[in-house]
Structures are given as structure tokens and as C-alpha cells.
Structure 1
Amino acid sequence: MVLLTQLWAENLFFEQTRTRAAAKLDLYASNLSGALGKYQSVPKLLALHGDVVELFLAPDDPAMRARGNQLTETVNRLTGAEDTYFMDAEGMTFAASNWGSELPFVGHNFSFRPYFQQAMQGRLGRYFALGTTSGKRGYYFASQVSDGGEILGAVVVKVSLDEIEHGWTAGEEEDVIVTDPHGVIFISSRAEWRYRTLAPLDAEERQAIAENRRYESVDLRPLDLELRSRAGGLQLLTVDGQAAGAPSREYVMVTKEMPEAGWTLHVLASTTLAYSQTVTAMVVAALASALVLLIALVVLQRRARLVERIEYQRRASEELERRVEERTADLRRAQDDLVQAGKLAALGQMSAALSHEFNQPLAAIRSYADNAQLLIERNREAEACSNLGRIKDLTTRMADISKHLMTFARKPRSELRPVRLAEVLDDTLDFLRTRLERAGAEVSVDQPDRGLTVRAGRVRLQHVILNLVANALDAMKDQAAPRMEFALRAAGGRVTVTLRDHGPGIAEAELGQIFDPFFTTKEVGEGLGLGLSISYNIVKDFDGVLRAENHPEGGAVFTIELPLLSARAAAKTALKEPA
């Protein structure tokens, strides 16, 4: 009777132990997947960003490297990643978030790492290893950076696993380990198990590990353990004490493969409670055999305890489901917060742009209104009506500018229509006539072909030319007779609009950042540094390029380059301003 009770109790309590361990296994797997999932898309997004591609085009430029270091450091601070770094096509790191530390990644070649090799093949690189430079464990995500089909390198984000492991403190009832494909323990709730193996490594496995340098300078010794199976597929693991005199520990082991991460998760549930419950059952059975009169009471008691354990398991399962749902909700809220933060940042930039770009039209309206008042007083109503018409046109243009600035971040390509450059330039110079006359400026226009047509937004293109002329006037404000020259040319299916002024030019150190938002060389209060940044993005929206350089004979030269629209294509669409 006692032996039968032992067999039954052991099977029951070991199975309950495995059930509890399996529930914990799902929880730990969800925690790991969630911790890594929030970083998975970061290198992809960075690889697609225009500023990042620009850095990869000139990895040897000290200024570009400095910008790359600042950018990776900012990404690290915002995402919470351990390290972010840029590698060129040869695997050499040219910018890293830890550039200011004692052991920076800059200048190190990590082409031997599988995540870099995967990224170079156009896949999302995934790998976990011990850092060869920092000596810290991490999980790596890498994404390829390319430009026009040319592979430039890879963006890499390293995620620290220490915080996850810190939450897995070793306990009396269970331990957690994560192993790689070779059975090496990479993450463990017990520090003494870290970098130990579940089985001795053969020469081929050690060679594979050495080639990828996953565990640099680490002695990968096997744990002293024994694995055996019980009925029902139950796996029992016995681990000898690592310290002198420490007792061995026996566990029920449940495992789960995580193929995307490339590792296996193990939950080791201690059998101490199961054996204790088994001994209790045996004692009860012995007493029941000796005390036949108390058998009924013992059975009822055991059934009550069984119901209690089942209820405990049910509550544990419900608690697990509740935590998973809360975790999912937290992740969704975090994603919504990031989207909303982006919208608010864009709204702030648009508000600043509206204030910056309305100053000139408002000044013109004030001037026309004053003139109209004087003309009415002198009974020159026809001329006054003409001024009022110009005020109406200016308010219409202000409304168009406001509309385009608010929709600037959405790249409204559907509004692009055929536009004649000569007409846009004539209208813009006519609009600026008062300011040009007041400054005593001389403007020459060289346009042999007035029929050159491009696909663009008329008002936004006028806005770009207006910004360039205004900046040229500001650069020559100390000259008695400022001069500027426009030139329109077509070649190779492209049209260029060139504006040269005769001012002091642009400092060489500022040419690389002149189109950055909020960069300005003007005095405080004279500008926000948004005009050229907005103009650059407007031209980019037209599939064009805005460049700045210095003229050999002095002064600055700004060039707008746009695709030329053929006469046949232009004839298919009416030449009118977008609504």
C-alpha cells in the first residue's frame, strides 16, 4: 500500500511541478520576446533615414563621424539600448554611441560577426554574444544600409540582457537558463552557471564558437549534471553543488525553443516540494493502513487538498493571462506615445515655420494697404483697386503657404502639376519688387528658353525661390548696390535654376550643415534657421536637389535641380496652380 502510494504521489506531484514550470516558461518566453521585440525595428528605421544614409556615404569624413557619434548617442538615450553603432561595408565601425568611453567601438572591425554577414545579405541580422571589446553580453540587431542599389554598410543595435537576468534571481523553487545551439548557458538566474555547458563540447563545436568569437576568452566547462527521463516524458535534471560541500539539486526541466532569437529557454523547477508532498502521502498511507477506521477521513482530507491545488493552478493560470494582457497593453500604449510625440514635434516645427514665413507677405500687405489709403484720399480709385487686388493675391498665397507648411511632413505628391519655371520666377520677383527696390538691388535673369516645365507645386516652388532671394539680400545688406543673377538651363533631362549673390559667401565649416533645421548664422531674433531646411525638403519632394556652394569669384551660389517635364507630358495636364 505504501509503495503504491509512493508511485502515485510522485507521478502526481512531479506532473504538477511540470505544469507550474510550463506556465512559468510561457511567462519568461513572453518577457524575453517583448524585451527584444521593441528594439527589432530600430536598425531598420535608422537604415532608411536620409541623414543616416548621408553619413554612410562619407564614413571617413571627421565631421560626418562626429555627427554619427552624436546621432547614435541620441538613439541610445531615446531607446534604452546598450550600444548603437554604424559599420561600413567592410565591417569597420566608424561611429558608435560609446565613442566617448574608455573602450569605444570606433575603429574596430566586426565583420566576423554573423549579424553583420546577415545584414550584408539583405536580411535582418540577429545574434547574441559576449562583446569582444566591452566584454558585456548582448543581443545584436543589424540592418543593411544602401543607396541606389549600392550596399554601404550596416546599422547595429546592441541590447543588454543584464536587466532581464537581474529579474531572474535564483530561488528555492525554480531556476531559469537560456542556452545557445551548442548548449552553452548564456543567461542564468544563477551566476555560477553562466558560460557553462549542458554537455561537453566536441572539437567541431568549439571551432564554430571560436570562428564567431561568441565567447571571447571564456573557459566553456560543462556543468556536473545528470539528465534522466521518467514516465510520461518527464525530464529530471540533477546538478552537483558548485561550491565545496554544497548539496546536489534535482529539477524538473521544461524547455521551449525560440528560433528567431536562436536560443532555447529552460525552466528548472525544484523537486523538493514534490518529494516533500510524496513523503507526506506515504506517511498518510501508512497511517491509513494502520488505522483502518480513519481511512475515510484521510481520503476526504486528500481530496480537499487536491481541489485546493487545482484551484491554485487555475488562479495561477488566470494571473499569467492577466499579466500577459497587461504587458501587451503597455507595449501598445508605448507605441502610441511614440507616434504622438512625433506628431507634436512636427507640429512645433510647422508653427515656427508659419511665423517665419508670414513676415514678408504681411509687410507687403501693410505697404499695399497704406498705399491704397493714400490713393483713395486722392480719388485715384483705379490704382487703389489694383493695390487691393494685390492684397487679395497675397492673402491667397499666405493661405497656400500655410496649407503646404501644415502638410509638409506628409509629402503631398498628389498636388504636383506641370509648372513653367519662367512664370514662377517672374511672379516671385514681382512679389519681391518692393523689397528689391528698397534695397537698391540689381537682379538679372538669364533664361534662353521660357518654356522649361517641371512637375512641382507652384506656390511651394515660389516659396523656395523667395527664401533664396531673401537670404541673398540679407547676406548683402551692407552693400550699397547688391547684385544677384539667375540662370535657367536644361541638360540631360534635368533643369537647373541657379542664383548667385555677391555677398561674403558661406564658411566652409557651415556648408555641411546649412540645410539642417534651426541652423542659422544670423543674430538672435533675426531668424530661426528653418527657411533653408524647409526649402531643401520642398525641392526633395519634387524629386529634386537643392545645393549650396561658393563661387570662385566670391559670393554664394544656390542651385535648384529638378527633372525636366517633356512637352508631351506637360500637354496632358492643365498648367494651373494646385488648389
Structure 2
Amino acid sequence: MVKAVQKRRRYRSIAAALWPFVLLALLAVAFFPRVETGNIARAKAEAETVLALVGDAVDQAIQRFEPLPGIIAGDPILLNLLRQTDNQGVVPFVNEKLRLLSLTIGASDIFVMDRSGLTVASSNYREPDTFLGRNFAFRPYFGRALAGEPSQFHGLGTTSDERGFFFSAPITNGIEIVGVIVIKMTVEEIEQSWERSDRVIMVADADGITFLASDPLYRLRALAPLAVDTLTRIERTRQFPVDTISPIPFSASVIREAGVEVVLGSEPDETRFLSVSLPLTLPGWHAIVLTPMEAVRTQSIRAMTIPLLVAAIGLLIVYVLRQRWMGLMERAQLERRQRTELERQVRERTTDLLKANRNLRNEVAERQAAEDKLLTTQKSLLQASKLAALGQMSAALSHEINQPLAAIISYADNAETYLERNRIGEVRSNISSISQMANRMANITRTLRSFARRPGEALGPVPINETIDETIVIVAPQLREREAVLEFDPAMPEVWVWAGRLRLQQVLVNLVTNALDAMGEAPDARIELRVEAADETVTLVVRDHGPGLSDDVLNQLFEAFYTTKDVGHGMGLGLSISYNIIEDFGGRLLAENHPEGGAVFRVELKRHWPDGQGRQT
């Protein structure tokens, strides 16, 4: 009988100890949906933040390049190219100019097409898969630009197999459209910042094709089966290879105003996602973030498990203490009060720490967003600088050629009259004058043709005095027009440098014309050019007698798009391009002010010793 009573007491004691654990389990089951709903709402809010950043990144990339084709299309050298696409002097010059311009603005490629869609100049002319000679008339951006409408297009490059945005604009001669210029921007740089995310980030175009995605498995996939006319249009424009565009088997549409849970695949390999989407500035485009529901549920279970474990441990401690110290109620009560107070303080401290951590994370996120916004603003301001055509040299050379042309016409008319009157002596005199004028024109065009040859030649030995003489011939019309004097102190004997002759001429022409502009309309304008030769280096020194350079100008002189000229008189690219050319030669381009006034530019190049000559000892 006693044993039965003890057994019943033991059962009651066990039951009394177990019912709190059962209650905790029931509470966990009851509150788990509420906890999970809260975590889903938090995941949705985080996804919306990611969507805002993704949308800003795509929109800013589009806005950065969209206005540039229309600006570059105004360069007169492009009209000259399209008038004589078979000119082996103009084409290489434009190719190199486009290459340097693409490096400066961060574009993937820049290329020019004639009215038939044939590419006649391209920045990637050095590459094996260059666009030169390829016809892109099938691309929509060509047709729209040819119709006079600046255009934007996205697709997979038919030559490079790289995804990118294409921005085009018409090239006009003032009367009609003679060609199209296109700038290509690749998208890999945008996607790189997404690869570390534990979410799937996608950007879908108006046809529902995922043009950008953080996971390669989701790139160039369809969010839903495509219509036949859509596939036909994509195949006609070669936008994407249609045989590789497969639908992503989502259980529901991932593009909705509110977040939606979607299933990918089927049991037992199905994956559930929380899908949140955001429309972009581009019409019909959407950014999509897929958050794995497994991670949300794991977080919810963890959020429920930790308090349950803490409570279970607490209850177990209470049970053990109650069993051991049943006879010492007062002491047990005191210890329970102390334990209760300690638990309260722990909970309060834990709450404070969680709140502090949350505030710290919010502050870090806000500062990061502010820094990103500042960087974006700086890039936008940089890209807003106008690109203007450099036409002063072309105008002066045209005048220099028109004068002997007019003289030739006049001498020819007079010779015809003299011939009718049988005045043979005057006819011979006029023919001799025509020959002199023609020789003068031939000398100008020969120098220009040499200057405009393919600029992509390999580096090699270049005679410095001859190169400077050819440069003087090129800038002579501008010097005469401005009544300026160029004093050249050649090196004796001839010295050689390791460079590219045509690109070195380009740098010298730019420095001399900049010196002319710096002196403005000042009378007695004078430019000094001299050669300083050492054993290892040769330095070309160009000095003007203008007002010199301020400290602010010196600090930003070689930055792209920085110019001190009035709007419409300079693109701010000349010195930046020259700086890159000299660096390609392994040299340096330096600027300083002369103690007696004016600016001094120094071009330091490696000296080359021809065979049969040795270094000075």
C-alpha cells in the first residue's frame, strides 16, 4: 500500500514537472506562424531595399551613357570619315580616336556605321573579333537612328557574345543622315556586386527575359513561355539565341505589386522563394529578388528554439531545486527570487544589446547608402560635361588649301585666254605658277596624309627632329592665322626616341594648339619648343607666354572632361588622351609654370640609340 502511494506521488511529481514543457511546446506551435509571418515581412522589406539599389544601379548606368552618342556624333571627323570610308589615312585616325575615347568614358565599344549598316570605324579595331567590316543593319538601334531617332537596345553581341546595352544616334551633315554612331556598355560590372548575395537577383526586360541575374543559371531565361511573334522578333533582330531561352518553371508569376511565394521545380526537389519585384525606369522592365523560404523558416525556427531551450533549462533547474530543497522553503524562495531577478536583468540586458545592435546596423546601412549616393552623384556630374568638336585645325587647313586652289583656277583661266591670243610666253608663266601652287598643296596634303596614317603602329625608334618638323607643317596655318611665332631649337645631331611616330605627332599638335589657345588674342604670341637630350631620356619642352596655370588647374589638368575653355571650344579630352599616349610609350607628361610667366609642358621619352652610335661617356 505504501509503495502504491509512493508510486502515485512519483507519477504526480513527474506529471507536475512535465506539464510546463508540454505547455511550452503548445505555445511554440501556436506562435510559430506569427513569428514566421514577421520574418517574411522582414525579408520582404530587406528585398525591397535590395530592389531599390538594383534599380538605381541599372537606371544610373543607362543615364550615364544615353546622351553620349548624340554628343560624339557632332565631331566633324566622323563626317569626314563617312565621306571617304576608303581613305587609309582618315580611317585609322578615327579608329584610334574611338579607342582612346572608349577608354576614357569606360565604354566597351564605340563604332560608326554608314547608311548600309556597314561598320567603317571601331574602337576595337585591334581585336581579332573587331566590328570593322561587319554589317549590323539588322539591329533595331540602326534602323531607328537612321530614321533620325536616338535609340537604346539590349541584347547579346553577335560578335563578342557579351550582353550589353547599345546606345545609338544619327550622324548628320546638316541636311541628311549619313551614318550612325553606337556605344556599347556591358553589364558584367553591374552583376558583380550581386554575386555575394544569398538571394537571387534578376532584371527582366519587357518580354520577360532575364537580361541580368546574380546566378548564371537564371540569365537569359524566360519568366513565362514566349509568344510566337516575340520569338520571331528576337530571332530577326538576333537579340538572343532563341534556342537557348528556356522558361523558368515558377508556379506563379514573380512580377506582382505585392510579394508572393512561388515554387520552382516539383517535389521532392522543389524550392520555395519569396518573390518581390519593382518596375524600373525602362518601360516594361522589372527588378526581381527571390529570397529562399528555407532560410526564412530556418530563421523562424531558430527564433523559437532559443527561447524554448532557455525556458526548458530554467524549468529543469526549478524542478531539480524543488526536489532537492523541498524542506528548505524559505531558502528556496529566496533563491527563486534571486534567480527571477537575475533572469529579468539578463532579459533586459539582452533586449538593450539587441536594440543597440539593430541601431548600429541601421546606421551602417544609412552611411553606406549615403556614400553610394555621393559616388553616383560624382559620376553623373562627370558624365554631364559636354563633348565638343575640335575644329580649329580643320578650318585653318581648309583655308590653307583653298588659297592655292583659287590661284590655280585663276591662272588656268588666264592661260586659256593667253592661248587664244597666241601669247605663249604668258601661257608658260601661268603653267609654271600653277605647278608651284600644286606643289604647295601636295606638300600640305602629303604631311597631313602622313599624320593621318594608322595610329596603331607598334612602338619603335622615331627621329625627334623630323617628327617636330612635320608637326610644324601641320600647325603652320594656325600659327599664321594667329600671327604667332614658334621657335624650335632642334637637337644636333638628330636624336631618336622609343615611341609611335603618328601618336607622338598627335600629342605635339595638341600641346601646340593648347599653347595658342592659352595666349588668346595677345599680340606677339610666341611658343618655344626645344629638345633636351640625355643618355637615357629625351625631353620635349613646349612653353607658351600666356597667363600660366593655377594650382586648381594643375591638380585636375589631366583628368578626362576637365577644361578651362568656354563651352563649345573644347571637350576636355585632349590632355587626358595625350597623357595616356605618353604613358603607353613608357614616358611621362608633366606640366608646370615658368618662373618668368607662361605654362611649360614636358614630354619625357625613352631615348633610343641607333646601331653604330653609343651612349655618351
Quote the Cα distance in structure 2 between the aligned partners of 1:142 and 1:299: 63
Aligned-residue offset at 1:537: 9.1
What letter is aligned with 2:282? E
Partner of 2:190: 164
Aligned-residue offset at 1:142: 0.4
Aligned-residue offset at 1:214: 0.7
C-alpha distance 512-79 of structure 1, shift in aligned 2 (>3 A): farther
Aligned-residue offset at 1:286: 6.0
Equivalences for residues 193-232 of structure 1 within 5 A: 193-216=218-241, 218-227=243-252
Aligned-residue offset at 1:263: 3.2
Quote the Cα distance in structure 2 between the aligned partners of 1:525 and 1:73: 25
Verify: 1:510 aligned to 2:452, yes or no. Answer: no
Contact 1:95 1:106 in 2 (8 A): yes
Q: Deviations over 1:64-89 (max 9, x none)?
A: 33333233222223222211111112
Q: Equivalent of 1:183, from 201, 208, 230?
A: 208
What letter is aligned with 2:183? V
Quote the Cα distance in structure 2 between the aligned partners of 1:56 and 1:246: 62
Residue aligned with 2:472, SS: coil
Residue aligned with 1:106, SS: coil
5+ residue gaps in structure 1? 347-407, 410-459, 473-483, 489-498, 539-579
Equivalences for residues 26-37 of structure 1 within 5 A: 26-37=52-63
Partner of 1:113: 139
C-alpha distance 284-274 of structure 1, shift in aligned 2 (>3 A): same
Partner of 1:314: 362
Partner of 1:571: none
Q: TM-score, normalised by structure 2?
A: 0.54
What letter is aligned with 1:180? D
Q: Deviations over 1:191-239 (max 9, x none)?
A: 1222222222232321222122111365111223333799993222333
C-alpha distance 525-228 of structure 1, shift in aligned 2 (>3 A): closer
Verify: 1:11 aligned to 2:37, yes or no. Answer: yes
Aligned-residue offset at 1:312: 5.5
Partner of 1:234: 259
Number of equivalent positions:
398
What letter is aligned with 1:214? Q
Quote the Cα distance in structure 1 between the aligned partners of 2:256 and 2:168: 44
Aligned-residue offset at 1:464: 11
Partner of 2:535: none
Q: Equivalent of 1:126, from 138, 147, 152?
A: 152
Q: TM-score, normalised by structure 1?
A: 0.57
Quote the Cα distance in structure 2 between the aligned partners of 1:71 and 1:11: 59
Quote the Cα distance in structure 2 between the aligned partners of 1:279 and 1:183: 35
What letter is aligned with 2:286? T
C-alpha distance 6-163 of structure 1, shift in aligned 2 (>3 A): same
Verify: 1:49 aligned to 2:75, yes or no. Answer: yes
Contact 1:143 1:155 in 2 (8 A): yes
Max Rg structure: 2
What letter is aligned with 2:259? L
Contact 1:238 1:251 in 2 (8 A): yes
Aligned-residue offset at 1:248: 4.6
C-alpha distance 287-162 of structure 1, shift in aligned 2 (>3 A): closer
Quote the Cα distance in structure 1 between the aligned partners of 2:163 and 2:105: 18
Residue aligned with 1:502, SS: helix
Quote the Cα distance in structure 2 between the aligned partners of 1:186 and 1:286: 46
Aligned-residue offset at 1:161: 1.4
Aligned-residue offset at 1:143: 0.7
Contact 1:514 1:532 in 2 (8 A): no
Quote the Cα distance in structure 2 between the aligned partners of 1:92 and 1:208: 22
C-alpha distance 487-510 of structure 1, shift in aligned 2 (>3 A): closer
Quote the Cα distance in structure 1 between the aligned partners of 2:253 and 2:360: 29
Aligned-residue offset at 1:533: 5.3
Aligned-residue offset at 1:307: 3.7
Contact 1:117 1:125 in 2 (8 A): no
C-alpha distance 140-261 of structure 1, shift in aligned 2 (>3 A): farther
C-alpha distance 42-512 of structure 1, shift in aligned 2 (>3 A): farther
C-alpha distance 333-151 of structure 1, shift in aligned 2 (>3 A): closer
Partner of 1:436: none
What letter is aligned with 1:221? S
Q: Deviations over 1:345-364 (max 9, x none)?
A: 99xxxxxxxxxxxxxxxxxx
Verify: 1:277 aligned to 2:299, yes or no. Answer: yes
Quote the Cα distance in structure 2 between the aligned partners of 1:188 and 1:169: 9
Q: Equivalent of 1:148, from 136, 149, 174?
A: 174
Partner of 1:328: 376
Aligned-residue offset at 1:123: 2.4
Verify: 1:76 aligned to 2:102, yes or no. Answer: yes
Aligned-residue offset at 1:299: 8.2
Residue aligned with 1:15, SS: helix
C-alpha distance 201-334 of structure 1, shift in aligned 2 (>3 A): same
Quote the Cα distance in structure 2 between the aligned partners of 1:117 and 1:505: 44
Residue aligned with 2:103, SS: helix
Aligned-residue offset at 1:14: 1.0
Equivalences for residues 75-94 of structure 1 within 5 A: 75-94=101-120
Partner of 1:254: 276
Contact 2:278 2:286 in 1 (8 A): yes
Shifted more, 84-93 versus 265-274: the winner is: 265-274
Contact 1:126 1:261 in 2 (8 A): no
Aligned-residue offset at 1:268: 2.3
5+ residue gaps in structure 2? 1-26, 319-339, 412-432, 456-463, 483-617
Q: Equivalent of 1:268, from 290, 309, 313?
A: 290
C-alpha distance 486-153 of structure 1, shift in aligned 2 (>3 A): closer
Q: Equivalent of 1:65, from 65, 87, 91?
A: 91
What letter is aligned with 1:319? R
RMSD: 4.9
Quote the Cα distance in structure 1 between the aligned partners of 2:256 and 2:101: 52
C-alpha distance 163-533 of structure 1, shift in aligned 2 (>3 A): farther
What letter is aligned with 1:502? Q
Residue aligned with 1:233, SS: coil
